[in-house]
Amino acid sequence: MIKKIDHLGIAVKSIDEARRFYEEVLGLPCEGIEEVRSQKVRTAFFSVGEVHIELLEPTADDSPVAKFLEKNGEGIHHIAYRTDDVESQLARAREGGCRLVHETPIQGAGGKRVAFLHPKSTFGVLTEFCEPQ
Ligand code: CO
């Protein structure tokens, strides 16, 4: 079951540059920076009440986020829904005819189990399910 919006993912070229906007202009504290090898990105998380902002910076040219930046430039990359069961959420999406980016959950930032649905089958929004540890 989907519980809430967990975070919004925003693709940026440089976390070091982008974080100043979130910290100094918006006044949001950075909760931590972490490299997520499975997705070839560096992430920075900020809290906005119970929702988070996840900045994503590619760490390799073949990173999915590098490809996104090439095609779309910086901006909103994905929306992440928190669920208590990624597998059953994926099964439900599969039954609903959605194209899955991940057939089974992968390890995301903060050790969460995550999986993505392809934007071609979600009306243009890369959609993440994430399940806290
Ligand atoms: Co995310």
What pLDDT was estimated at residue 14?
A: 98
Maximum Cα–Cα distance across the chain: 45
pLDDT at 38: 84
Q: What is the CA radius of gyration of the chain?
A: 14
Measure 79 CA to ligand 1 centroid, in angstroms.
7
Q: Give the residues across from 85 on adjacent strands.
A: none
Cα distance from N-terminal residue to C-terminal residue, the chain:
16
Which protein residues have a CB closer than 5 Å to ligand 1 (ion)? 9, 54, 80, 128
Count Cβ neighbours within 10 Å for each residue of 100-117 and write b for 16 or more, e otherwise: eebeebbebbbebbbbbb
| Average pLDDT, rounded, for the chain | 96
DSSP H helices in the chain:
15-20, 64-72, 86-95
Residue 94 C-alpha to ligand 1 middle, in angstroms? 20
Q: pLDDT tens digit string along 120-129?
A: 999 999 999 9
Regarding pTM above 0.75, the answer is: yes
Helix extents (H) in 10-114? 15-20, 64-72, 86-95
CA 50 to centroid of ligand 1, rounded, Å: 15
Report residues of the chain scoring pLDDT below 50. Answer: none
C-beta separation of 64 from 102 below 8 A: no
